Amino acid sequence: MLAFYSDHFVLPLPEGHKFPMAKYSLLRKRILASGILPASHVQEATAASWDDLRLIHTPEYVGAVAAGTLERDAQRRIGFPWSPEMVERSRRSVGATLAASRAALRDGVAANLAGGTHHAFADRGEGYCVFNDVAVAARMLQCEGAAARIAVVDCDVHQGNGTAAIFRDDPTVFTFSMHGAQNFPFRKEVSDLDVALDDGTGDAEYLPLLAHHLEEVIARHRPDFVFYLAGADPYEGDRLGRLKMTIAGLRRRDEVVLHRCAALGVPVAISMSGGYAPDIDAIVTIHANTIAVAASLATTTVDEA
């Protein structure tokens, strides 16, 4: 199994900003230090091309990001000020999901050690999301004829509003979002299947609901490829999440999704998505557990070179 990273570009963040950028490079170090994946299986992503991005995003929006002409309001909605690093990082994060998608076709499962930027719409960014990695990769797989019926299983605690809007009128991509009802975004889009959870939902309620609705996704859509957004923010220690999932429960969540897809023989590309616990070590553990579950399921491995 391969995992792709894009964590070299540190963004200049506004004073007092709480976005835990450090988690991405810490995750990569943890995966290597704990032997979850050998170093040769953790690869740097190349940037998505402007053409790739325009598979989903409007030429006007892509052009404004490229040229640094995003309005102040558009930058405020994204949450990062524009910078060349912001552009490079955003392109590489999409590139990592493109690479993971191709690797998943071969190995059954692969991951982007960042990504899951599901609040990005075709014509604008929002909530720390510039481009929608999963949407771009889904369309790329379809254009290349590698997949036809795609399901997005979004278990980040925030609704995948950008993804839902992008594929609202597209019957070939099924969007499933399981999220906190009281969480951002406060004006939600309509996914093909939305499961909105009450504040305080814990493992005992969450896991059976997920298993039930995952079967519904499979029965209704019969996907030949799955994108899984494994957000760490349903965790009880998360600053924004409002749910009460434990670290063990989140690992069980990953097993529910990934074991089911493996049993069906459907390839899965994983993106990490959110995670905002003040305890960064807990976030890294949750994400590393996702990679460990995936690594145990990969059908083939790349030769050590």
Residues found near Zn ion in the complex (CB under 5 A): 156, 158, 231, 233, 274
* Shortest reach from residue 25's CB to Zn ion, in Å: 19
Cα 174 to its chain centre, rounded Å, is 15
Give strand pairing partners of 112: 4, 271
CA 210 – CA 216 distance, rounded (Å): 10
Q: Would you say the C-alpha torsion 51, 52, 54, 60 has a positive or negative sign? A: negative
Identify which of residues 164 and 262 has a Cβ nearer to Zn ion in the complex: 164
* Shortest reach from residue 97's CB to Zn ion, in Å: 16
Identify which of residues 20 and 267 has a Cβ nearer to Zn ion in the complex: 20
* Shortest reach from residue 178's CB to Zn ion, in Å: 12
The CA-atom distances, in angstroms, between 67 and each of 34, 62, 74 are 41, 9, 14
Residue found by looking up tokens 């953790």 in the block: 42
Identify which of residues 23 and 158 has a Cβ nearer to Zn ion in the complex: 158
Q: How many other CB atoms are found less than 10 A from the CB of residue 172? A: 14
Identify which of residues 223 and 274 has a Cβ nearer to Zn ion in the complex: 274
Identify which of residues 167 and 276 has a Cβ nearer to Zn ion in the complex: 276
Give strand pairing partners of 42: 3
Give strand pairing partners of 303: none
* Shortest reach from residue 228's CB to Zn ion, in Å: 14
**Cβ atoms of residues 83 and 12 within 8 Å:** yes
Tokens of 216: 């519904």
* Shortest reach from residue 127's CB to Zn ion, in Å: 8
Tokens of 98: 């493109």
DSSP line for 216-265 = HHHHHH--SEEEEE--STTBTT-SS---BB-HHHHHHHHHHHHHHHHHHT
Residue nearest Zn ion, CB atom distance: 274
* Shortest reach from residue 207's CB to Zn ion, in Å: 19
Identify which of residues 126 and 233 has a Cβ nearer to Zn ion in the complex: 233
